[in-house]
């Protein structure tokens, strides 16, 4: 049984989805989803401890040995992302019940849960697989599920947002598969490790370069790399609250993981970063994303969109670490996957609680007025998560920012340091707009009666907020795991 | 209790106090009782640390390793214990005063007020006892954030904009300059532990790099209010006066100059800086702040604003003294942290008492107020004399040491700045005393009496301490001297 954990990690949520469709009962669907999420978390943690103890795990699906069969591979990086994804799932799932009840018609709940399980399976599969085509399959599973989830949003423009994301996402997935096709053309293999070895021997660089370009743009679309980010604000703003919380915390992160896999394992990072302008391109795009998206967030009135723009800026931090290309910066990038996942997850979960009490309609900064009176715990949670977003010391966001600044300093790039802190300061401004509204502006109507979110939702939300602080102080998992992964990536290719 | 437990107690007592205050919000008398008990307990914990520190011990506490190689750790040295002692002792007096002020003015949100105050003291203790730069930075930012609700206490438009400037300047400087400086220090030296002689000793930085890094620190530590990053301090005056008194005359601003001294002594190292000549620019910048802020204070009609600019000027005394890099001047800087604190809190107490009794806020309204509020104005006079540096008030002591330090170093420009600013100090304080005691009150005056008794008691306590300090100076002076001697 323990030997089959890598397969179970994906199969369990994958099997849960059709079960939910068959039973079509929303209470059952919720319980099953929650149970599956927790099981996934337990399995991910078990896998992570085994990786820390005994190195990478290779699992051959159907006992077909790689490179002929599909290999599942768990190493320092993928186990870190597995824990991140399943951790977020197990926070969001218990919270989903009450949140969905307010936003989605009851007879459609089972669809949400089924799609949620599929999405989880896809994301975990993308992370765990060691096969380029299998990765595409999981990418499509998670993406298709996500399109449906977004389109199920409470307002009518959710359909448009879902459709828009579907167009962009399909382009991304297609580009990815074209790139993989080109690689298959020159190497005749799809196993990532095998690909890496064979690519080193390829004489003709042109198809490989083309493959690199297709894969970069394809994955760049999925991870909302600036300027391929247009789908993201609408998608995040329109989806049901629990969906936003889940995909904001996980989907782009897994895409970053795929990019890291290709850049550092499949392609030769020495060539990629030394002979191609990869570093310059990534630094330029990331810095632009950080500053521009933060500025847009500053002027956004719709709170969910505001934080969606903030996500684009934060993805800039992650890709900046890739562009800086040293151990410190990659540690920053990878730990930011977790730190930002926890932070943004917490924010969207809390906003979901606010939306539940505020009723239908868009959540604007004005509608947050007097929140500290109506929902003191939720408001305080938003403040703490906001501080983590800014990167105040003692919160998760600080840790990754520390390593990014350190990485930039090691490269001697002072202007990048300036950009990082400038983006943080803009973040102070947009977070403080929310804080001021919540604490200093009186509620417009007489509605100052205390109406805190339901206990279940609040517990999930505050647990995530606690994690925002926990990962800011006790970093043996977040930094330790990220540093192991960074060393793996920066070390000799496997 | 061992030193380790006492450090833990000094951090936990105000945190626990904040929780209890929040829990007892429905019973105001109990709540204020909790505040007072917490303050006394904190002072006892801090005071119990003094003997061992004076005997040369350095109690330490390791909490956890936050990043590989960087821990949240505490280590108490003379300068830190002096700062902690001043802040915790004045918290007791300030709490008594707060009770009078908050009830006298029927302020809202009093539970939040007292709870945030306790949190601010916890952050101050963390700063005072920090064993490395990251721990200090952590509590430095915490202090900024927990004082924001106090600055914006009234929640009106003025409080909002004041709070924005306050938070904006303090976070922009600390995140924008201080954080890169800390990371750069870590990148250069591979350590952030405060060590005698300096972390950067032997890191092989050029003198230009040292000067640049020092500039990042000095302007990054916005709480020290060196111009041009001083704007947050006048903005913070929208807060209720007890906040201005303890936090923006003692805890927050002293945390700033304390950090500056700490950085000069323990991060750069006095020898390293004087050998490289990298701190040469700092004394003129601080000197400019002293004079310019005094001139602004001279022209300010709002009493609290005048006091705020006086604080800006006095803080730069400490920065300038530290920049001289002489043991004597560093001792003067350390001592001035204590003497200015006691003098300035007295002045703010008086300003708050005037507001509570008569709702007057401007200097031009104070004609003849000494007749209706003799106690308050007597306390104000003592505080003012102390800040001008007239013996026997406490301010004289540290100013004397500063003059001496400048003379020893042969820094005659610094000497001149000190002399001119003393005249300017007299220029903005003495007219107030003249108006209060020698002018006739305006004829259409509403009669009003003295401030509530608790406020008068608090004011008299600090005024008496100002006068008594020179006679019981042995403990602070010994601590300041051993900080100035750049002891481990």
Distance CA A44, CA A254 (A): 15
The model's confidence at residue A341, banded by pLDDT at 50, 70 and 90, is very high
CB pair distance less than 8 Å for A425 and B171 = yes
Phi, psi of A74 (to 5 degrees): -115, 115
Which of B138, B160, B180 has the CB atom closest to A421's CB atom? B180
Q: What pLDDT is stored for residue A336 in this prediction?
A: 95
Instruction: Answer whether B159 touches A (CB < 8 Å).
Output: yes
Distance CA B255, CA B143 (A): 9
| Inter-residue contact A375 to A439 (CB < 8 Å) | no
Say if residue A79's pLDDT is above 50: yes
Both tokens assigned to A460: 């999930």
Question: Tens digit of pLDDT for each residue in A363-400?
Answer: 888 888 888 888 889 999 999 999 999 999 999 999 99
Question: Tens digit of pLDDT for each residue in A10-41?
Answer: 999 999 999 999 998 888 999 999 999 999 99
Q: What pLDDT is stored for residue B143 in this prediction?
A: 94
- Whole-number percent of chain A with pLDDT over 90: 66
What are the residue ranges of helices labelled H in A299-358? 303-324, 327-358
Q: What pLDDT is stored for residue B408 in this prediction?
A: 85
Q: What pLDDT is stored for residue B364 in this prediction?
A: 87
Q: How close does chain B come to A417, measured CA to CA in Å? A: 7
Q: What pLDDT is stored for residue A40 in this prediction?
A: 94
CB pair distance less than 8 Å for A393 and B155 = no
Q: What pLDDT is stored for residue A343 in this prediction?
A: 94
CB pair distance less than 8 Å for B164 and A432 = yes
Which of A409, A422, A440 has the CB atom closest to B152's CB atom? A440
Distance CA B13, CA B25 (A): 18
Question: Tens digit of pLDDT for each residue in A232-284?
Answer: 999 999 999 999 999 999 999 999 999 999 999 898 888 888 888 889 999 99
Q: Show the 3-state SS of A152-176.
A: CCCCCHHHHHHHHHHHHHHHHHHHH
Phi, psi of B70 (to 5 degrees): -125, 120
- Residues of chain B contacting A474 with CB distance shorter than 8 Å: 64, 66
Low-confidence spans in chain B with pLDDT less than 50 = 487-488
Distance CA A410, CA B387 (A): 46
Q: What pLDDT is stored for residue B331 in this prediction?
A: 86
Contact residues, B window 161-190, toward A, CB-based 8 Å cutoff: 163-164, 167-168, 171-172, 175-176, 179-180, 183-184, 186-187
pLDDT: which is higher, A231 or B469: A231
Q: What pLDDT is stored for residue A1 in this prediction?
A: 59
Q: Indicate which of A326, A393, A394 best probes the interface with B, i.e. most B CBs within 10 Å of its own CB.
A: A393
- pTM score, two decimals? 0.93
Q: What pLDDT is stored for residue B287 in this prediction?
A: 92
Residue A191 β-bridge partners: A131
Q: What pLDDT is stored for residue A450 in this prediction?
A: 78
Instruction: Answer whether B215 touches A (CB < 8 Å).
Output: no
Distance CA B311, CA B233 (A): 9
Q: For A436, name the nearest residue in chain B, comparing CA atoms only.
A: B160
CB pair distance less than 8 Å for A394 and B141 = yes
CB pair distance less than 8 Å for B67 and A421 = no
Q: How close does chain B come to A340, measured CA to CA in Å? A: 17
Phi, psi of B60 (to 5 degrees): -140, 155
Q: How close does chain B come to A473, measured CA to CA in Å? A: 5
The model's confidence at residue A165, banded by pLDDT at 50, 70 and 90, is very high
Distance CA B372, CA B450 (A): 6
Helices (H) and strands (E) in chain B, counts: 21, 2
Question: Tens digit of pLDDT for each residue in A186-208?
Answer: 998 999 989 988 988 887 888 99
Distance CA B144, CA A427 (A): 16
Say how many C-beta atoms besides its own lie within 10 A of residue A401's C-beta: 27
DSSP B212-251: HHHHHHHHH-GGG--TTS-THHHHGGGS-HHHHHHIIIII
Distance CA A438, CA A255 (A): 34
**At B56, is the secondary structure helix, strand, or coil?**
coil
CB pair distance less than 8 Å for A405 and B137 = no
- Residues of chain B contacting A390 with CB distance shorter than 8 Å: 171, 175
Please give the ipTM for the structure prediction: 0.91
- Residues of chain A contacting B149 with CB distance shorter than 8 Å: 439
Q: What pLDDT is stored for residue A99 in this prediction?
A: 86
Q: Please state the separation of Cα A446 from the chain's center in Å.
A: 39
Both tokens assigned to A84: 């991140």
CB pair distance less than 8 Å for A425 and B149 = no
Say how many C-beta atoms besides its own lie within 10 A of residue A156's C-beta: 8
Could you tell me the maximum CA-CA distance found in chain B, to the nearest angstrom?
70
Compute the mean pLDDT over every residue in chain A, rounded to the nearest whole number: 90
Say if residue A422's pLDDT is above 90: yes
B279-304 burial by CB neighbour count: b if 16+ within 10 A, else e? beebbebbbebbebbbbbbbebeebb
Which helix (H) or strand (E) is A57 found in, with range?
Answer: strand A57-60
**At A188, is the secondary structure helix, strand, or coil?**
coil
CB pair distance less than 8 Å for B160 and A440 = yes
């Amino acid at each position: 049984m323990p030997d089959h954990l890598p397969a179970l990690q994906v199969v369990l949520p994958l099997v849960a989805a059709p079960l939910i469709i068959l039973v079509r009962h929303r209470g059952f669907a919720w319980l099953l989803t929650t149970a599956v999420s927790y099981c996934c978390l337990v399995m991910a943690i078990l896998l992570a401890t085994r990786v820390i103890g005994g190195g990478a795990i290779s699992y051959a699906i159907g006992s077909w040995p790689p490179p002929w069969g599909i290999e599942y591979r768990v190493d320092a990086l993928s186990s870190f992302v597995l824990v991140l994804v399943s951790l977020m799932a197990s926070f969001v799932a218990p919270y989903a019940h009450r949140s969905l009840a307010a936003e989605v018609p009851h007879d459609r709940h089972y669809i949400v849960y089924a799609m949620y399980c599929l999405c989880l399976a896809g994301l975990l599969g993308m992370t765990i697989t060691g096969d380029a085509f299998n990765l595409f399959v999981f990418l499509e599973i998670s993406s298709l599920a996500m399109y449906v989830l977004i389109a199920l949003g409470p307002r009518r423009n959710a359909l448009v947002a879902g459709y828009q994301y579907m167009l962009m996402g399909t382009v991304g997935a297609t580009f990815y598969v074209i790139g993989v096709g080109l690689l298959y053309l020159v190497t005749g293999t799809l196993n990532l490790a095998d690909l890496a070895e064979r690519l080193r021997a390829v004489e003709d660089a042109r198809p490989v370069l083309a493959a690199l370009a297709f894969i970069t743009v394809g994955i760049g679309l999925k991870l909302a790399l600036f300027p391929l980010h247009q789908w993201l604000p609408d998608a995040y703003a329109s989806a049901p609250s629990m969906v936003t919380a889940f995909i904001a915390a996980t989907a782009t992160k897994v895409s970053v993981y795929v990019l890291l896999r290709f850049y550092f394992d499949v392609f030769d990072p020495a060539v990629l970063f030394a002979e191609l302008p990869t570093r310059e391109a990534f630094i330029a795009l990331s810095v632009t994303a950080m500053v521009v998206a933060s500025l847009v967030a500053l002027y956004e009135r719709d709170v969910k969109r505001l934080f969606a723009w903030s996500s684009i800026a934060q993805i800039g931090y992650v890709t900046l670490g890739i562009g800086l290309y040293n151990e410190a910066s990659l540690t920053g990038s990878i730990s930011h996957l977790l730190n930002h996942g926890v932070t943004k997850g917490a924010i969207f979960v809390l906003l979901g609680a606010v939306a539940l009490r505020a009723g239908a309609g868009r959540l604007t900064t004005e509608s947050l007025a007097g929140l500290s009176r109506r929902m003191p715990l939720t408001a305080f949670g938003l403040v703490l998560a906001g501080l983590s977003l800014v990167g105040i010391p003692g919160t998760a966001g600080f840790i990754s920012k520390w390593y990014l600044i350190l990485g930039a300093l090691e490269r001697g790039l002072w202007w990048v340091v300036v950009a990082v802190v400038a983006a943080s300061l803009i973040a102070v401004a947009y977070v403080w707009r929310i804080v001021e509204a919540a604490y200093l502006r009186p509620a417009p109507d007489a509605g100052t009666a205390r109406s805190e979110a339901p206990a279940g939702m609040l517990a999930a939300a505050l647990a995530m907020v606690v994690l925002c602080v926990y990962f800011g102080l006790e970093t043996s998992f977040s930094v330790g795991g990220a540093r192991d992964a960074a060393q793996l990536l920066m070390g000799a290719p496997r | 209790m061992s030193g380790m437990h006492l450090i833990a107690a000094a951090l936990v007592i105000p945190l626990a106090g904040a929780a209890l205050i929040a829990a007892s919000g429905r019973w105001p008398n109990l709540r204020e009782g909790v505040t007072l008990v917490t303050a006394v307990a904190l002072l006892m914990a801090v005071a119990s640390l003094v003997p061992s520190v004076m005997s040369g011990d350095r109690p330490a506490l390791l909490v956890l390793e936050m990043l590989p190689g960087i821990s949240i750790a505490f280590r108490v040295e003379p300068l830190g214990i002096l700062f902690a002692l001043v802040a915790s002792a004045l918290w007791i007096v300030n709490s008594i005063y707060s009770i009078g002020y908050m009830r006298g003015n029927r302020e809202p949100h009093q539970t939040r007020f007292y709870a945030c105050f306790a949190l601010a003291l916890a952050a101050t203790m963390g700063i005072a006892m920090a064993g490395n730069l990251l721990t200090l930075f952590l509590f430095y930012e915490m202090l900024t954030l927990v004082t924001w609700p106090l600055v914006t206490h009234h929640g009106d438009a003025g409080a909002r904009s004041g709070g924005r400037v306050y938070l904006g300047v303090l976070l922009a400087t600390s995140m924008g300059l201080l954080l890169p400086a800390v990371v750069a220090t870590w990148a250069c030296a591979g350590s952030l532990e405060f060590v005698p002689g300096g972390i950067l000793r032997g890191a092989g930085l050029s003198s230009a790099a040292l000067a640049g890094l020092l500039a990042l620190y000095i302007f990054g530590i916005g709480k020290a209010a060196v111009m041009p990053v001083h704007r947050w301090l006048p903005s913070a005056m929208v807060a209720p006066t007890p906040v201005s008194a303890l936090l923006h005359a003692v805890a927050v601003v002293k945390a700033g100059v304390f950090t500056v001294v700490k950085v000069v002594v323990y991060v750069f190292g006095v020898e390293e800086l004087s050998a490289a000549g990298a701190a040469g620019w700092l004394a003129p910048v601080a000197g400019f702040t002293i004079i310019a802020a005094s001139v602004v204070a001279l022209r300010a009609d709002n009493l609290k604003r005048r006091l705020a600019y006086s604080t800006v000027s006095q803080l730069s005394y400490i920065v300038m003294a530290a920049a001289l890099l002489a043991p004597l001047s560093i001792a003067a800087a350390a001592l001035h942290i204590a003497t200015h604190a006691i003098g300035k809190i007295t002045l703010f107490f008086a300003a708050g008492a005037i507001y509570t009794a008569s709702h007057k806020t401007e200097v031009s309204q104070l004609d003849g107020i000494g007749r209706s509020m003799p106690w308050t104005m007597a306390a104000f006079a003592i505080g003012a004399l102390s800040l001008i540096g007239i013996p026997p008030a406490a301010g004289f002591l540290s100013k004397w040491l500063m003059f001496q330090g400048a003379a020893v170093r042969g820094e005659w420009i610094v000497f001149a700045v000190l002399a001119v600013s003393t005249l300017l100090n007299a220029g903005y304080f003495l007219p107030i005393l003249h108006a209060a005691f020698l002018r006739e009150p305006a004829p259409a005056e509403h009669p009003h009496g003295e401030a509530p008794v608790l406020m008068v008691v608090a004011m008299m306590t600090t005024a008496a301490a100002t006068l008594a300090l020179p006679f019981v100076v042995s403990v602070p002076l010994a601590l300041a001297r051993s900080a100035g001697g750049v002891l481990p």
